[in-house]
């Protein structure tokens, strides 16, 4: 083995620039430098990767497989540099060549192979699995186009295709030798006991591997993404007949499967191509898992002992019937035993209770694409009904295949992602199944990786923490509690606030150069960044902002706390209500930002194209974290954790992990408002709840009246009639009912922010008490309670 660790980074960069990219320093463009640095870092990751793989084979340890349709990994270069502790060396090496470290890092495209929370969680989990040294693979799809790029035209969201592979990508290894055939359609042949599926269409899944390195490079796991290709890529006969379109058709068709990520977050569309993608991922992953298992252990009865497969939501739920099909139809085990082995191997995470997110497939479509799987689902359901004759809920009713109940029945554990969400699962969607299988549901509250979400994105704060308590917090985040005594030291608090202020200056400079948005770093930076959704209630935020603006205008000489309202987030292209909310925020920003009477006190900015990289800029600079979903709707949230960790107190409802954040940081360091999940359910049954709330609060009424009158859309006064009448009418997400208390909480924020020292103390306590929200803690929870897997670093 070549010992790259002993080669200085600067030599390795130059070697790659020369021999991997054929450039000398004089002619290298920025991308060449970025690639050369990436390859130099990658060499060292590969060393760790080989060692980890070898140890996994040697010990015969259990392996964990995380199946997910999304991995929102973002950029990888800084992650690698930080985890290998190469920051200083990389900076000085580039400086020797006259290159700026940050400029080189900024050249990397952001890999947006996910929509939001679920995909980003999968990425944090991969990093934590490597930090902990748990042998694991992530399996996903190598989408050619990730989540669309968002821009605004006249305040409206416009979507453009994203093309992260257009620039050179440094991190993946193509594995042309790792290919599997994935079939669709066709017919099922039954001869006595022998059942065989003969698909009518086949595509090939080809593997691409990305190593994922953990803290200090002690371990590295693999993210294996599948790309679609044709088995016979080129129809020579068609070509010879001059039909060039038909000649290229097989290739185009097969590639369509991994062409694009569906941009719908928490809404289910029931599209044929989506089901194909789900089976493509799952089928390829299972073949790969079984091949590896076979080589090492052989006896399929040992599968649950050596393999744990986690299903990230129901998207890969076809794994249940597919595993049964392979074990029973192809390997000859009894149906019963096949089901038991599959269940011993599979576990399922639920990420949302929203009814529109629960996946179902029409049996016609499902049976057309996966005829054998439909039979197997029916049989699984039938056996389950036999064991539980009183059962009323089925995975096969209303001519549908219901992936939630299927996942539940085929998993040995089912988990929610925050304490509240897990309890609600037991009393809502999975009530009956939970009563039949009371041991199955467990909780694993989400977490975030402190390497990316503190050490890398907030180096100033990370530096202060390390100089105060040492560096062990980086992979043992609970140690942040050692900061508590410092919080009583005014000198230390001053350092803490100076850091926040520097982060705000840095963000302001970037906003001004990248977007021409000028922000005063002395304002309170109030941040709401997440997907646009009615349940997340960005419209509650903008309504309060408008009401506040009107009040400032009534009394422009009062001592208002200056605030910058920052928004970012994408709306699903077909979610018109959410797109209207974006436009309303942009329209309100245009009017309010140009009001000379209020501009000292209030500004609004909606930053376009929210992604992981933008979050890394915003989180360290935030003063206030907006987590204002209707209680009972946000399964967990993970942005909420990133903000608390980086010293932005929350204004929020008792929803998802907010509940646990408040318990950890202390009620006095959290701005709570709004109804509880129970009160929400109760309030929905109250007649005309919205009208009553509006009548009771003149501020709310005035804000709604101004929107309706076209104050923010003078050229088209009726533009927001849809939003206003929704809020006055059904208001399913109870924006009006929670408005008054939200307003009160925001005025409490204003008052608290004026007390500079008190605010710094509150922010610092948020940091000191957020140690529990590390994804390392979450992954250890999965390892102990669900996977029964071990770390190979502690052996
Ligand atoms: C929750 N995405 C957050 C986060 O657990 C939670 C659904 C269907 C298709 C594509 N994407 C989805 C989600 O359901 C999702 O992102 N859910 C989120 O998972 C991690 O913190 O509360 O909304």
For 102, phi and psi rounded to 5 degrees? -65, -35
755 CA to centre of ligand 1 in angstroms = 37
The least confident of 5-19, 72-86, 778-792 is 5-19
The stretch 17-40 carries a mean pLDDT of 98
613 CA to centre of ligand 1 in angstroms = 19
| 685 and 756, same domain (yes or no) | yes
For 191, phi and psi rounded to 5 degrees? -125, 100
| 599 and 728, same domain (yes or no) | yes
| 643 and 756, same domain (yes or no) | yes
Nearest to 344 by CA among 308, 298, 297: 308
To test the pocket of ligand 1, the residue of 635, 644, 652 to mutate (highest count of ligand atoms within 8 Å of its CB) is: 635
Assigned domain for 202 exists: yes
pLDDT band at 6 (very low <50, low <70, confident <90, very high): confident
- d(CA 13, CA 103) in angstroms, rounded, equals 16
For 194, phi and psi rounded to 5 degrees? -90, 120
* Atom 8 of ligand 1, residue of closest alpha carbon: 266
Q: Is 536 an annotated catalytic residue?
A: yes
266 CA to centre of ligand 1 in angstroms = 6
141-162 pLDDT, tens digit per residue, is 999 999 999 999 999 999 999 9
The stretch 338-350 carries a mean pLDDT of 98
311 CA to centre of ligand 1 in angstroms = 13
pLDDT value at residue 253 = 80
CA atoms lying within 13 Å on the CB side of residue 690: 16
Assigned domain for 485 exists: no
Nearest to 74 by CA among 148, 138, 146: 146
Q: Is 495 an annotated catalytic residue?
A: no
To test the pocket of ligand 1, the residue of 120, 264, 265, 267 to mutate (highest count of ligand atoms within 8 Å of its CB) is: 265
Task: Give the Å distances, CA to CA, from 129 to 125, 190, 490, 663, 697.
Answer: 6, 43, 38, 27, 50
The two structure tokens encoding residue 65: 């497989």
**What is the average pLDDT score of the chain?**
96
417 CA to centre of ligand 1 in angstroms = 10
The least confident of 421-425, 577-581, 635-639, 790-794 is 790-794
Assigned domain for 591 exists: yes
Q: How is residue 330 annotated by DSSP?
A: I
363-383 pLDDT, tens digit per residue, is 999 999 999 999 999 999 999
79 CA to centre of ligand 1 in angstroms = 23
533 CA to centre of ligand 1 in angstroms = 12
Q: Is 642 an annotated catalytic residue?
A: yes
Claim: this prediction has a pTM higher than 0.95: yes
Residue whose structure tokens are 């501009």? 599
116 CA to centre of ligand 1 in angstroms = 7
Atom of ligand 1 nearest to the CA of 634: 22
| 184 and 273, same domain (yes or no) | yes
The two structure tokens encoding residue 64: 């964990």
To test the pocket of ligand 1, the residue of 66, 128, 351 to mutate (highest count of ligand atoms within 8 Å of its CB) is: 351
* Atom 3 of ligand 1, residue of closest alpha carbon: 637
**Active-site residue (options: 149, 351, 563, 565):** 351
**Active-site residue (options: 42, 563, 642, 664):** 642
The two structure tokens encoding residue 492: 């230390």
| 329 and 402, same domain (yes or no) | yes
| 633 and 700, same domain (yes or no) | yes
pLDDT band at 4 (very low <50, low <70, confident <90, very high): low
| 545 and 635, same domain (yes or no) | yes
Ligand 1 pocket, Cβ-based, cut-off 6 angstroms = 115-118, 121, 264-266, 351-352, 357, 417, 446, 634-638, 656
Is pLDDT above 60 for 47?
yes
Which residues 6+ apart lie within 8 Å of 220 measured at CB? 45, 48, 49, 52, 130, 211, 212, 213, 214
* Atom 14 of ligand 1, residue of closest alpha carbon: 266
- Virtual CA dihedral for 342, 343, 349, 352, nearest 10 degrees? 100
Interface pTM, i.e. ipTM: 0.97
Assigned domain for 6 exists: no
Atom of ligand 1 nearest to the CA of 349: 5
* Atom 7 of ligand 1, residue of closest alpha carbon: 266
Atom of ligand 1 nearest to the CA of 656: 22
Is pLDDT above 90 for 243?
no
Radius of gyration of the chain from its Cα atoms, rounded to whole angstroms: 27
CB 118 within 8 A of CB 312: yes
Atom of ligand 1 nearest to the CA of 421: 22
* Atom 15 of ligand 1, residue of closest alpha carbon: 118
- d(CA 165, CA 211) in angstroms, rounded, equals 17
- d(CA 355, CA 463) in angstroms, rounded, equals 44
Assigned domain for 459 exists: no
The stretch 440-448 carries a mean pLDDT of 98
The stretch 657-671 carries a mean pLDDT of 98
| 715 and 783, same domain (yes or no) | no
531 CA to centre of ligand 1 in angstroms = 10
The stretch 81-106 carries a mean pLDDT of 98
Q: What percent of the chain is modeled with pLDDT above 70?
A: 99
To test the pocket of ligand 1, the residue of 67, 113, 117, 429 to mutate (highest count of ligand atoms within 8 Å of its CB) is: 117
Atom of ligand 1 nearest to the CA of 267: 8
Q: Is 482 an annotated catalytic residue?
A: no
pLDDT value at residue 5 = 64
Which residues 6+ apart lie within 8 Å of 518 measured at CB? 508, 511, 512
* Atom 10 of ligand 1, residue of closest alpha carbon: 265
| 719 and 694, same domain (yes or no) | yes
Is pLDDT above 50 for 133?
yes
pLDDT value at residue 3 = 47
| 421 and 561, same domain (yes or no) | no
To test the pocket of ligand 1, the residue of 112, 118, 265 to mutate (highest count of ligand atoms within 8 Å of its CB) is: 118
716-737 pLDDT, tens digit per residue, is 999 999 999 999 999 999 999 9
pLDDT value at residue 268 = 80
Per-residue HEC secondary structure of 714-742 comes to CCCHHHHHHHHHHHHCCCCCCHHHHHHHH
**Active-site residue (options: 372, 373, 421, 530):** 530
Atom of ligand 1 nearest to the CA of 638: 21
391 CA to centre of ligand 1 in angstroms = 29
352 CA to centre of ligand 1 in angstroms = 6
pLDDT band at 244 (very low <50, low <70, confident <90, very high): confident
**Active-site residue (options: 638, 653, 767, 778):** 638
pLDDT value at residue 247 = 80
Assigned domain for 103 exists: no
Atom of ligand 1 nearest to the CA of 266: 7
Sheet order of strands, 201-213 included? 173-184, 201-213, 220-229, 136-141, 63-67, 307-312, 346-349, 413-416, 441-443
Task: Spell out the alpha helix ranges (H) of 138-271.
Answer: 236-240, 244-256
190-214 pLDDT, tens digit per residue, is 998 899 999 999 999 999 999 999 9
CA atoms lying within 13 Å on the CB side of residue 697: 24
Assigned domain for 287 exists: yes
CATH of the domain at 313: 3.40.50.2000
The two structure tokens encoding residue 475: 């992979």
| 747 and 783, same domain (yes or no) | no
> 644 is in which domain, residue-wise?
523-767
**Active-site residue (options: 137, 229, 384, 531):** 531
721 CA to centre of ligand 1 in angstroms = 30
115 CA to centre of ligand 1 in angstroms = 8
**Active-site residue (options: 34, 218, 413, 536):** 536
Q: Is 351 an annotated catalytic residue?
A: yes
pLDDT value at residue 248 = 80
Assigned domain for 494 exists: no
Q: Is 216 an annotated catalytic residue?
A: no
* Atom 13 of ligand 1, residue of closest alpha carbon: 266
Q: Indicate the number of domains in the chain.
A: 2
* Atom 4 of ligand 1, residue of closest alpha carbon: 117
| 720 and 783, same domain (yes or no) | no
Return the SS3 of 415.
strand
762-772 pLDDT, tens digit per residue, is 999 999 999 99
Is pLDDT above 80 for 794?
no
């Amino acid at each position: 083995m070549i010992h790259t660790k002993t080669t200085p980074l600067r030599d390795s960069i130059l070697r790659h620039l020369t021999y991997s990219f054929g450039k000398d320093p004089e002619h290298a463009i920025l991308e060449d430098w970025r690639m050369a640095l990436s390859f130099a870092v990658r060499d060292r990751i590969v060393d760790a990767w080989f060692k980890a793989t070898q140890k996994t084979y040697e010990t015969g340890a259990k392996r964990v497989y995380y199946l997910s349709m999304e991995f929102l990994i973002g950029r990888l270069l800084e992650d690698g540099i930080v985890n290998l502790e190469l920051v200083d060396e990389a900076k000085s090496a580039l400086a020797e060549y006259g290159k700026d470290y940050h400029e080189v890092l900024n050249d990397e495209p952001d890999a947006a192979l996910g929509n939001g929370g679920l995909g980003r969680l999968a990425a944090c989990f991969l990093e934590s699995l490597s930090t902990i040294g748990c042998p694991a693979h992530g399996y996903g799809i190598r989408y050619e186009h990730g989540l669309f790029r968002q821009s605004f035209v006249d305040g409206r969201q416009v979507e453009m295709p994203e093309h992260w592979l257009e620039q050179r990508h440094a991190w993946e290894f193509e594995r042309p030798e790792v290919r599997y055939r994935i079939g669709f359609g066709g017919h099922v042949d039954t001869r006595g006991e022998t059942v065989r599926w003969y698909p009518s269409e086949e595509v090939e899944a080809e593997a691409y591997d990305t190593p994922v390195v953990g803290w200090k490079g002690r371990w590295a796991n693999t993210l294996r993404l599948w790309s679609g290709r044709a088995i016979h890529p080129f129809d020579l006969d068609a070509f010879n007949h001059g039909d060039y379109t038909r000649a290229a058709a097989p290739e185009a068709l097969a590639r369509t499967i991994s062409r694009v990520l569906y941009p719908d977050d928490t809404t289910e569309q029931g599209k044929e191509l989506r089901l194909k993608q789900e089976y493509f991922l799952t089928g390829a992953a299972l073949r790969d898992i079984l091949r590896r298992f076979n080589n090492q252990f052989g006896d399929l009865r040992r599968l649950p002992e050596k393999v744990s497969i986690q299903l990230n939501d129901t998207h890969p739920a076809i794994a249940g019937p597919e595993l049964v099909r392979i074990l029973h139809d192809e390997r000859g085990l009894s149906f019963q035993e096949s089901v038991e082995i599959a269940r011993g191997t599979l576990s399922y995470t639920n990420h949302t209770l929203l009814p529109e997110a629960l996946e179902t497939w029409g049996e016609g479509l499902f049976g057309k694409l996966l005829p054998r799987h439909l039979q197997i689902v029916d049989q699984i359901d039938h056996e389950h009904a036999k064991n539980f004759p009183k059962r009323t809920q089925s995975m096969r009713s209303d001519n549908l295949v219901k992936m939630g109940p299927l996942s539940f029945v085929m998993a040995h554990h089912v988990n929610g992602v925050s304490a509240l969400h897990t309890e609600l699962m037991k009393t809502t969607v999975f009530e009956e199944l939970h009563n039949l299988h009371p041991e199955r549901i467990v909780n694993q509250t989400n977490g975030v990786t402190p390497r990316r979400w503190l050490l890398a994105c907030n180096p100033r704060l990370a530096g202060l923490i390390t100089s105060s308590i040492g560096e062990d917090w980086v992979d043992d985040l609970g140690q942040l509690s050692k900061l508590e005594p410092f919080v009583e030291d005014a000198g230390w608090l001053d350092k803490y606030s100076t850091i926040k202020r520097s982060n705000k200056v840095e963000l302001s400079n970037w906003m001004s150069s990248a977007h021409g948005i000028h922000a005063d770093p002395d304002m309170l930076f109030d941040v709401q960044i997440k997907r646009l959704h009615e349940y997340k209630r960005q419209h509650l935020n903008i309504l309060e902002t408008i009401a506040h603006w009107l009040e400032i205008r009534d009394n422009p000489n009062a001592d208002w706390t200056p605030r910058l309202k920052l928004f970012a987030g994408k709306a699903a292209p077909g979610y018109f209500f959410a797109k209207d909310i974006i436009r309303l925020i942009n329209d309100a920003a245009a009017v309010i930002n140009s009001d000379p009477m209020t501009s000292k006190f209030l500004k609004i900015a909606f930053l376009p194209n929210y992604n992981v990289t933008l979050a890394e800029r915003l989180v360290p600079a935030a003063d206030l974290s907006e987590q204002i979903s209707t209680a009972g709707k946000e399964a967990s949230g993970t942005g909420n954790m990133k903000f608390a960790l980086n010293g932005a107190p929350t204004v929020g409802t008792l929803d998802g992990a907010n509940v646990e954040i408040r318990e950890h940081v202390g009620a006095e360091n959290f701005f709570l408002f709004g109804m509880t999940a129970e009160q929400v359910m109760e309030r929905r049954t109250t007649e005309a709840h919205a009208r009553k709330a509006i009548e009771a609060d003149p501020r709310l009424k005035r804000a709604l009246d101004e929107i309706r009158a076209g104050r923010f859309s003078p050229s088209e006064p009726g533009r927001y009639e849809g939003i206003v009448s929704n809020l006055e009418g059904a208001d399913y997400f109870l924006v009006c009912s929670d408005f008054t208390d939200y307003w009160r909480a925001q005025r409490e924020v204003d008052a608290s922010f004026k007390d500079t020292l008190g605010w710094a103390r509150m922010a610092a306590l948020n940091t000191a008490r957020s140690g529990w929200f590390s994804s390392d803690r979450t992954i250890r929870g999965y390892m102990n309670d669900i996977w029964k897997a071990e770390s190979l670093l502690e052996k």
